[in-house]
Chain A
């Protein structure tokens, strides 16, 4: 199959460094990966094409890049699966990270964030003689998160990072979850209190992008949501995000649907005048579009049965929340 790869290139040593597109046309087979093709280009056509790669089997995490606009591992992406009708595909460096050269980005900002979640086991109490005893299910559950190869694909495509570089980001937070959910770790609450802060678990907008692009099924967003729930479960409710969620829950339970006027009031507190004033422009902009919440909020007719269902759901969630918190015992 004859294909064309359009590569977004950048040479910082050029007289006037500017990103530009370069097309390479080459012959590949049905099973060729994008990485195979790029390596062929590098070896046979253009030695100056810079990219990182090593394992060729989706395990070292080196080769994440944007293929047709979405981050993925070049070594895990078959050419045949991504070419368009003209047998063409595009390759760019990952987003949300500074480009060093061609497809190579500077991951330092990301590594700093990983470091910031204190990603090491912090047990309390004396170390056991042998191993910590822990349920296999808990370990298998964690293996799902340990699957993360720190490729950065999720970081590249996270919609919050695009506008707020302070956000810890999906990969670092998934890593954080790995300790929160580890029955051997003794600092769960302290950790959650930390991740609760600005730039942490409440800054995710649940856009789902990270779940979609992750090549290893880590589902960072789900891990972030799990931490939100844990944080609230542990009584760490003093954040805008947590109050928002709780208010949401309370209001819905009360009337069977969302009271959008009371939600911000409850979230920020009825007396938080500066913050509420800050919200006014949004409300004013919403008014002419008839999107402003109605001040007259009526419960839905089936509110009673709704409330019963709601309570049941909460109880179920409660039981689930209790289960994995059981501490590892020393054995």
Chain B
């Protein structure tokens, strides 16, 4: 197979943005995804994308401060500065690519309010923002003629002498395994939501890239920081966008009280997500919930506004909860939504540090939800994730293209790498059925994580979770795949994914046990206070093999202009 300069794995917003930029810089680019690009999870983003536009009287510094505060001071401020400074330019280039953002009366881009921010700076396309951007990005990919590996599943990264030189992947349609050589690889594989059950995330969000990078030698950072979104449907975990509260919807308890007044008197429903989620869980725990939920009330917004600006939620209400949101409040509760932590990268998307302060793999890059730059720290603000994907996607693409220029590949033994993966697959397929199934192990993992690593955590529960995960790993090593064919074998894909999910789950628990304080989304009943003296730092995990606990190290948080403050909303 020909040698690519840049191989992007993942065709969500981060991946496609990276591929486009690398292509623009003249690199020979390939883009791989286990689903067709427009099926990527980025399409689920309903609410919008943040940017502080100077000509609207907004300042990037204000956006950055809100982000720092949202992150509970765990975000690296150099990275946050980059993201907020480049936001305007990225937003405009999305518009130029063809995104049809909603407009104001003057025909300029319109905004809506979002949680944790003092100003309305969220740009949006009705409530299909992610979908609208994703499809436009794919249009640009078609225009560029970049090579596409659609419905290819990456099974391994290939690292030789500390450098990533490509990947091994399986074409899902045929089951064929191939080695794809590349001077640089950019991981843009998205989140790990399905490690939890339930989750707002799509079924494909299984943390593949995080596990791949981790095993290849790149540290995972701040994995304990898992965001629970305040408004998800009971049961399925389907999301109701924060845009609803941005447009003015209320949160009510069983007495019809707007309880946020007691938790965040200034920002009310629009306080940071971790704050609102904890408030809801407290209401439910103290007996003021309705059937394990609280209520989201949109009625006063009026039918016109709901239909025009929240049309998708209106439909979701009808389809998935049987509720007409123009007529009755909808029961919701916090649900797993986003992974702030991930593959450690610098602000150029590199998974290695030229200064050597942390260890990594040369030639490997990461961007989007799978990466941790870190701009979200302990808690991500709504509509900052799409921004993260395009800003750092672009930077990773540009840097990879430049780095690849004068770094041809050494001679490689393709067959060896293909054989390794092929053997793994054969073993899975050949294994005797012992009664256990991939689905059951995944379910137990997910519910364990939800129970012990949800909104409230403590030592004992997390230790219990770790023990369960170790047992599940043992069971995984014996589980069989019952579809023995090679054509579109989804059972095989699920089995491979579960391996990655278990790896991610364990990383989350190990990090959670390590951080002995409460910060952002990581709230410990046994350490309820933030502890800047000891824990104003990142936790890095290095993989040391399947049976050994990871090595844990720390990195200081980069503070540029906003020293830690008390966090009140």
Chain A residues within 8 Å of B, Cβ to Cβ: 11-13, 31, 42-44, 46-48, 50-62, 76, 78, 100-102, 104, 106-107, 111, 114-115, 118-121, 123, 127, 130-136, 139-140, 142-143, 146-150, 182, 184, 328, 331
Minimal Cβ-Cβ distance residue in A for B35? A54
| Contacting residues, chain B, for A127 (C-beta < 8 A) | 96
| Contacting residues, chain A, for B96 (C-beta < 8 A) | 121, 123, 127, 131-132
List 8 interface pairs A-B (beta carbons < 8 Å), by A numbering.
A42-B491, A57-B320, A58-B315, A62-B35, A121-B96, A121-B97, A139-B101, A331-B107
Q: Are A50 and B108 in contact (CB under 8 A)?
A: no
Minimal Cβ-Cβ distance residue in B for A43? B439
A sample of 20 more A-B contacts (CB under 8 A), given A57-B239, A143-B126, is A12-B487, A31-B235, A44-B437, A48-B491, A50-B483, A51-B490, A57-B236, A57-B238, A57-B320, A59-B43, A59-B312, A60-B43, A61-B39, A101-B487, A119-B142, A120-B142, A131-B96, A134-B107, A135-B107, A139-B100
User: Which parts of B173-216 form the interface with A (CB within 8 Å)?
Assistant: 173, 202-204
Q: Given A51-B490, A139-B102, are A107 and B36 neighbors across the interface (CB < 8 Å)?
A: yes
| Max chain B C-beta neighbours (<10 A), residue from A78, A130, A135, A328 | A130
Minimal Cβ-Cβ distance residue in A for B200? A57
Cα A51 to Cα B483 with chains together (Å): 13
Minimum CB–CB distance from B481 to chain A (whole Å) comes to 7
Q: Are A55 and B131 in contact (CB under 8 A)?
A: no
| Max chain A C-beta neighbours (<10 A), residue from B100, B101, B104, B316 | B100
Minimal Cβ-Cβ distance residue in B for A13? B485
| Contacting residues, chain A, for B43 (C-beta < 8 A) | 55, 59-60, 149
Q: Are B316 and A57 in contact (CB under 8 A)?
A: yes
Could you mark each residue 85-113 of chain B with 1 if its beta carbon is under 8 Å from any beta carbon of chain A, else 0?
00000001001111011111111111000
Q: Are B100 and A62 in contact (CB under 8 A)?
A: no
Q: Are B126 and A140 in contact (CB under 8 A)?
A: yes
| Contacting residues, chain B, for A56 (C-beta < 8 A) | 202-203, 236, 238
Q: Are A143 and B100 in contact (CB under 8 A)?
A: yes
Q: Are A146 and B92 in contact (CB under 8 A)?
A: no
Main secondary structure of the interface of A (DSSP, over half): loop
Q: Given A43-B437, A53-B203, A57-B316, are A11 and B38 neighbors across the interface (CB < 8 Å)?
A: no
Q: Given A120-B140, A149-B38, are A58 and B98 neighbors across the interface (CB < 8 Å)?
A: no
Minimal Cβ-Cβ distance residue in B for A55? B202
Minimal Cβ-Cβ distance residue in B for A76? B319
| Contacting residues, chain A, for B482 (C-beta < 8 A) | 46-48
Picked from A31, A59, A62, the residue with its CB within 8 Å of the CB of B322 is A31
Q: Are A136 and B110 in contact (CB under 8 A)?
A: yes
Q: Are B485 and A149 in contact (CB under 8 A)?
A: no
Chain B residues within 8 Å of A, Cβ to Cβ: 35-36, 38-41, 43-44, 55, 92, 95-98, 100-110, 125-126, 128, 131-132, 135-136, 139-140, 142-143, 173, 202-204, 235-236, 238-239, 308, 312, 315-316, 319-320, 322, 437-439, 481-483, 485-491
Q: Are B39 and A44 in contact (CB under 8 A)?
A: no
Minimal Cβ-Cβ distance residue in A for B91? A131
| Contacting residues, chain A, for B98 (C-beta < 8 A) | 120-121, 182, 184
Picked from A54, A59, A60, A140, the residue with its CB within 8 Å of the CB of B102 is A140
Q: Given A61-B38, A107-B36, A140-B308, are A147 and B322 neighbors across the interface (CB < 8 Å)?
A: no
| Contacting residues, chain B, for A133 (C-beta < 8 A) | 103, 106-108
Minimum CB–CB distance from A40 to chain B (whole Å) comes to 9
Minimal Cβ-Cβ distance residue in A for B93? A127
Cα A331 to Cα B139 with chains together (Å): 24
Closest 9 CB pairs of A and B: A121-B98, A43-B439, A48-B483, A133-B107, A136-B103, A47-B491, A47-B482, A120-B139, A120-B143
Q: Are B108 and A331 in contact (CB under 8 A)?
A: yes
Minimum CB–CB distance from A205 to chain B (whole Å) comes to 28
Cα A79 to Cα B132 with chains together (Å): 30
Q: Are B488 and A104 in contact (CB under 8 A)?
A: yes
Picked from B44, B132, B140, the residue with its CB within 8 Å of the CB of A55 is B44
| Contacting residues, chain B, for A136 (C-beta < 8 A) | 102-105, 107, 110
Q: Given A76-B319, A136-B103, A140-B308, are A54 and B488 neighbors across the interface (CB < 8 Å)?
A: no
Cα A122 to Cα B438 with chains together (Å): 47
Picked from A48, A130, A139, A146, the residue with its CB within 8 Å of the CB of B128 is A146
Q: Are B485 and A11 in contact (CB under 8 A)?
A: yes
Minimum CB–CB distance from A290 to chain B (whole Å) comes to 49
| Contacting residues, chain B, for A114 (C-beta < 8 A) | 142
Minimal Cβ-Cβ distance residue in A for B131? A59
Minimum CB–CB distance from A106 to chain B (whole Å) comes to 8
| Contacting residues, chain B, for A102 (C-beta < 8 A) | 488
| Contacting residues, chain B, for A51 (C-beta < 8 A) | 490
Cα A57 to Cα B46 with chains together (Å): 12
Minimum CB–CB distance from B321 to chain A (whole Å) comes to 8
Minimum CB–CB distance from B118 to chain A (whole Å) comes to 23
| Contacting residues, chain A, for B128 (C-beta < 8 A) | 59, 143, 146-147
| Contacting residues, chain A, for B315 (C-beta < 8 A) | 58
Minimal Cβ-Cβ distance residue in B for A103? B488
Minimum CB–CB distance from A94 to chain B (whole Å) comes to 14
Q: Given A58-B319, A101-B488, A149-B131, are A132 and B202 neighbors across the interface (CB < 8 Å)?
A: no
| Contacting residues, chain A, for B204 (C-beta < 8 A) | 54
